[in-house]
């Protein structure tokens, strides 16, 4: 379940059939923002499945805050961030558990190190305002040459950076 | 009272009842700063208002503990913890301003002595929200510019949910909303750790430390590796609970820092339920 986690630093890398082009064809893709979204090399996307009886695309709570943070922080870098939703479609799923779900992000391999650095900084700011450990779940999809890998991290926020740095996408 | 006098009062406060006029004074002072668009001074006053809430909440929680209104105390500690967390990004706790590290430590420690283990987590879909500062609907591509948690005109920015769909309640052990304690019918929580502590201290400003230790359960002490496991599994101890958390229990060791603790209480075991 996505309310809680007992993991310390679990990471999984799997092949996945999902590319930027596939996202552009999804029913939830907001065509009115197609031009700007297709410029992004790091794109926040909704959960890939519904929640309970709810089948509309959903984003985790605080996705707006996260989106604004990464948009500001990626200024001047090679990463262009966007979010695959219009205001009208955008719904956040709040679970009110003490666990941070970072929104799913699809990115190019060039964007990967910068995006993971931005997530690390975002989590660091979150940890600063706490006195207890923070658990986090992160799902990243990295596309390179038309193929994609899903990198899923679950565990302590302060171990995200070192764990993610330990994987080498080229070797996987 | 001017702002310096209020800051001095709150920094040195060690009583049980706060001056109730202070919020009114602060409100007036803040209105003046906002009218002059003095954002940094207005923000400073917001911080002092928060400090006042933290101290008042802490005193209220302690008073509830003394009166054995445990759940009321829990709610007050939780609310105070939230107010303190709002303050954390705007005021440097390391400078020991207003003795905030003391309140921070005590709130955390008191919360740890409550027996609550299961909570409710509400699942909800937020469809539309607005900014508490300007009232604008939250937008992905046309943000109003106000950031959650920041201070504008002496007020903290938050989000007001305008449209939401309630889905379900989940039972969790690490809730965001700590007020959602489960009270199963016919069962009564055991607050003896808190009640015992209260017999050893004289007021909210008595300092004490809490250490979390792992101790071996009595039935596992002295058991040989090849003997049957005390958990009654039928397996040998070495093949069962030896070296696992099953043979350990959490020991909350409390050390009262004041010069005259009333007496030394040996370790005793406490169950969640009476």
Best mutation target among A131, A134, A156 (most B Cβ atoms within 10 Å) is A131
Q: CA B128 to CA A91: how far, in whole Å?
A: 8
- DSSP three-state, residue A157: helix
Q: How far apart are CA A138 and CA A148, in angstroms?
A: 16
Question: pLDDT for B48-90, tens place per residue?
Answer: 999 999 999 999 999 999 999 999 999 999 999 999 999 988 9
Best of B88, B109, B131, B174 to disrupt the A interface (most A CBs within 10 Å) is: B174
The secondary structure of A62-74 as a DSSP string is THHHHHHHHHHHT
Q: What is the largest CA-CA distance in chain B?
A: 79
Helix (H) or strand (E) holding A10: strand A9-16
CB of B237 closer than 8 Å to CB of B226: yes
Phi first, then psi: give them for residue B87, nearest 5 degrees: -75, -25
Average pLDDT over residues B5-16: 96
Residue B274's pLDDT is 81
Burial of B252 per CB tally in 10 Å (0-12, 13-18, 19+)? middle
Which chain A residues are within 8 Å of B108, Cβ to Cβ? 131
pLDDT surpassing 50 at residue A123: yes
Q: Could you give the ipTM of this predicted complex?
A: 0.88
pLDDT tens readout for residues B228-244: 999 999 999 999 999 99
Minimal CA separation from B126 to chain A, in Å: 5
């Amino acid at each position: 379940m996505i309310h809680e986690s007992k993991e310390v630093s679990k990471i999984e890398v799997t092949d996945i059939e999902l590319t930027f082009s596939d996202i552009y064809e999804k029913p939830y893709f907001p065509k009115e923002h197609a031009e700007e979204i297709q410029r992004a090399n790091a794109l926040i996307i909704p959960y890939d499945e519904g929640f309970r009886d709810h089948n509309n695309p959903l984003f985790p709570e605080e996705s707006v805050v996260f989106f604004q943070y990464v948009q500001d922080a990626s200024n001047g870098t090679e990463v262009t961030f966007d979010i695959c939703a219009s205001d009208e479609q955008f719904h956040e799923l709040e679970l009110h558990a003490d666990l941070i779900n970072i929104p799913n992000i699809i990115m190019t391999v060039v964007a990967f190190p910068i995006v993971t650095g931005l997530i690390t900084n975002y989590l660091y700011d979150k940890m600063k305002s706490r006195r207890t450990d923070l658990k986090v779940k992160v799902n990243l999809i990295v596309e390179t040459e038309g193929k994609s890998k899903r990198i899923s991290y679950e565990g302590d926020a302060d171990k995200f950076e070192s764990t993610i740095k330990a994987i080498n996408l080229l070797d996987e | 009272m001017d702002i310096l006098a209020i800051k001095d009062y709150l920094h040195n406060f060690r009583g049980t009842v706060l001056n109730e006029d202070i919020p009114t004074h602060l409100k007036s002072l803040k209105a003046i700063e906002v009218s002059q668009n003095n954002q940094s001074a207005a923000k400073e006053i917001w911080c002092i208002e928060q400090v006042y809430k933290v101290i008042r909440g802490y005193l209220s929680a302690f008073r509830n503990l003394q009166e054995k209104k445990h759940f009321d105390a829990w709610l007050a500690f939780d609310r105070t913890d939230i107010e303190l967390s709002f303050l954390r990004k705007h005021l440097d706790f390391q400078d020991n301003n207003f003795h905030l590290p003391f309140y921070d430590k005590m709130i955390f420690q008191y919360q740890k002595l409550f027996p609550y283990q299961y909570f409710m987590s509400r699942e909800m879909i937020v469809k539309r929200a607005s900014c508490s500062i300007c009232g604008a609907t939250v937008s992905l591509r046309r943000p109003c510019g106000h950031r959650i948690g920041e201070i504008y005109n002496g007020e903290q920015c938050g989000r007001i949910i305008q449209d939401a769909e309630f889905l379900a309640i989940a039972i969790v052990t690490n809730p965001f909303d700590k007020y959602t304690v489960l009270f199963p019918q016919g069962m009564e929580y055991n607050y003896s750790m808190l009640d015992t502590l209260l017999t050893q201290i004289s007021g909210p400003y008595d300092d004490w430390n809490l250490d979390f230790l792992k101790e071996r359960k009595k039935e596992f002490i002295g058991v040989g590796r090849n003997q049957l496991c005390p958990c009654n599994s039928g397996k040998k101890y070495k093949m069962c609970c030896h070296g696992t958390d099953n043979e350990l229990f959490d020991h909350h060791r409390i050390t009262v820092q004041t010069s005259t603790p009333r007496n030394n209480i040996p370790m005793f075991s406490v169950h969640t339920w009476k």
